[in-house]
Homo-oligomer: A and B are copies of this chain.
Amino acid sequence: MSALQNDLILRVLRGEATERTPVWMMRQAGRYLPDYIKLREKYSFFERVQTPELATEITLQPVYQIGVDAAILFSDILVIPQAMGLEVQLIEHKGPVLPDPIKSAKDLERLHVADPHTELSYVPAAIKLIKKELNGKVPLIGFAGAPWTLLCYMVQGKGSKTFDEAKAFCYTHPELAHTLLQMITDSTIAYLKAQIEAGADVVQLFDSWGGLLSPDDFEIWSLSYMRQIVAVVKDLAPTILFAKGAWYSLSAMADTGAQGLGIDWCITPQMARKLAGEDVALQGNYDPVHLMAPPAKIAEEVTAMLNAFGPKGHIANLGHGILPGVPVDHAKIFVETVKQHKHHVI
């Protein structure tokens, strides 16, 4: 395996100074890219995810077409519930559907801790192929869903604004919920270890629905499980926690030892730094809807964001996934503005 030619993100995650701020975009592989849309018309979602050659092609598209400083594996957080034994349907433009969600102790009997080397073997296979194709150009980010977010889908059975059924399940069946969260956690630890062994340079945990919880509930139902995962993986590869909306936990998340924390756009960089402390990299936090604004406006706003975060400890990114309707040129402006920015170091 070739040495990395661009290790900006790794150096930021190690707390080192870099010559410029690195940049990538959540959901950068897919959705808004015309070459991805062509593949989507030919192959189903799980064909794209489970065929290493297709996952590789999609993963590499934004590296060559947009110029980001990292690739992120094309996959989905719901491969874990699927590998644990739950049916997952991903229908284009409709969001995920899990037709037999978890509602009782009996439902839990249908599940098992996932084995990354059998049910999920297509993921390490894809990572090996991606690393070979990248040939050291940029690092590869692996990822998984946080246990809380996966429980949300496994209990609610579909997307939701409030995930009230998933939350009510926890508050009315706490033992079952904790059993399920531990099974997801054990599956996720094995899964991320396998990703790192296959070549992932960085891993990110996505807690898309952490911000639906109160600070106390976030500790009980989400962070306590992410903490277990970080304790194992942070010494194998730099680890980024992204719990959307859970600003109130930035200090506690920094205490896990994760090398990076993702933040959304609903907090200023200054406040996020104050809450997270000085020792962790911050990743974010441009509002993805702002990529619909005119290009000159995007450049102006991204510059302001870079100045607000400052030259050290920042990985430029969106505050959530890029939206399907974003013009490719606007995504390029975002990335180019970061790459050309000169920090005024005093």
A residues contacting B by CB (< 8 A) are: 159, 161-162, 164, 167-168, 171-172, 211-215, 217, 245-248, 265-268, 271, 287-290, 292-294, 297, 323
Contact = CB atoms under 8 A, between A and B. Distances in A.
A213 B266 contact: yes
B268 A215 contact: yes
A267 B246 CA distance: 9
Taken together, the copies of this chain in the complex come to 2
B290 A266 contact: no
A174 to B, nearest CB: 9
A271 B290 CA distance: 29
A247 to B, nearest CB: 8
Contact of A171 (B161, B167, B268, B289): B289
A63 to B, nearest CB: 26
A272 to B, nearest CB: 10
A25 to B, nearest CB: 16
B248 A215 contact: no
Contacts of A212: 266
Given A161-B161, A172-B294, A271-B248, A167 B289 contact: yes
Contacts of A167: 287, 289, 292
B214 A292 contact: no
B162 A289 contact: yes
B267 A297 contact: no
15 contacts: A164-B288, A164-B292, A167-B287, A167-B289, A171-B289, A172-B292, A211-B266, A214-B265, A214-B287, A215-B267, A215-B268, A217-B287, A245-B266, A247-B247, A248-B267
